[in-house]
Amino acid sequence: MSFSAVTKNELARVVGQRSCCRLAELSALVKMDGSVQISSGQRLSLHITTENAAVARKILSLVKDLFGLQTEVLVQRKKRLKKNYVYLIRIPFQQGISDILYRLGMLDESGCLRDMAPRSLLRRECCRRAYLRGVFLGGGSVNRPEGNYHLEIITDNKLFAEAISSLMNRCHLATKSSRRKNRNVVYLKESEHIVRFLNIIGAHSALLNFENARIYKDVRNNVNRLVNCETANLNKTVNAAVRQIENINLISHTLGLEKIPEPLRETAELRLKYPGACLAELGKLMRSPLGKSGVNHRLRKIEEIAEKIRSNKI
């Protein structure tokens, strides 16, 4: 089961304490996955479609708890992927359905379809949290934290996507928006903001699993960086030592080490005797201990002599 499905199954069990929160969550679910059907005689009905059984059960529970409406449920296999089911919750025409659609924010006062949720649903912070939970249940997904950090919400309505982005930004979440296959995508890329969003909507188990995976991933990446850094430094040290020994051997076989100044000869002999030692270790082995910069200076002088020999200047 995907991380998104596990998260949605958890959220489907979260029940708002206040009726206003439950109304806000159902409003978001209806706005994301619902459609108003108008038949002959201006008879209104509401269809809500979802592929998640737990979400379908939650929609039925919220409709029954808030309004006590008659509902119908149809289950069918998807045409393209026969393994998946689609759940259709249908609320047929009945007394007072127009008022209910108005309360859910689907219709405005004149009976026209709304593009955005009414402000009356989002006055309280708890209602805004519940609304975002419904938005995620209706059209959200989140990647496994072991991979790339990515949480997104998809909707066909551009104005509604802007409203979702504004509501998430109000919760201090740095959202980004894009168009994908003629659909509007509101997404988060920063792991800290994904964790904050999961906390806001009440997905606490998913949050802990996300954090555990993120910490493990960060530690692993830090260890890899340290190992790579140490390996690079070791390679650099070894390559430098090999080059220094080549220079010393060249001087020894042509000019003779006895012909170079005493401090340089001492450094050259120690390098030949301790080919794996670092500069600091070589400095401590000197008759008069020397720092890294001093040893490095002498080795550069030896390299200059070797380069002159190579270019026949000596």
Q: Are residues 178 and 298 in the same domain?
A: no
CATH number at residue 126: 3.10.28.10
Q: Are residues 194 and 222 in the same domain?
A: no
- Give the integer Cα–Cα distance in Å for 293 and 282: 11
pLDDT of 111 reads 64
pLDDT of 82 reads 59
Q: Are residues 254 and 157 in the same domain?
A: no
Q: Are residues 234 and 105 in the same domain?
A: no
Per DSSP, the three-state class of 296 is: helix
Q: Are residues 254 and 136 in the same domain?
A: no
- Give the integer Cα–Cα distance in Å for 215 and 35: 42
Q: Are residues 185 and 299 in the same domain?
A: no
Two tokens, residue 89? 């919750």
| Number of structural domains the chain divides into | 2
pLDDT of 269 reads 92
Two tokens, residue 8? 């949605």
User: Are 26 and 40 contacting, i.e. CB atoms less than 8 angstroms apart?
Assistant: no
208 inside domain = no
pLDDT of 54 reads 92
213 inside domain = no
Q: Are residues 277 and 150 in the same domain?
A: no
**Chain centroid offset of residue 225 CA:** 20
Last residue of a domain, one of 174, 202, 230: 202
Name the amino acid, one letter, at 127: C
Q: At what angle do helices 53-66 and 19-33 cross, to 10 degrees?
A: 130
* Helix ranges, the chain (H): 3-11, 19-33, 53-66, 97-103, 125-139, 158-170, 191-201, 204-254, 262-273, 279-285, 292-310
Per DSSP, the three-state class of 122 is: helix
Q: Are residues 197 and 224 in the same domain?
A: no
Domain enclosing residue 280, as ranges: 218-310
Q: Are residues 20 and 121 in the same domain?
A: yes
Last residue of a domain, one of 172, 202, 232: 202
pLDDT along the chain (314 residues), means of 10: 90 90 92 83 84 92 87 80 79 82 78 71 90 94 88 91 91 91 92 93 92 85 87 85 91 89 92 88 91 92 91 77
Two tokens, residue 301? 């002088």
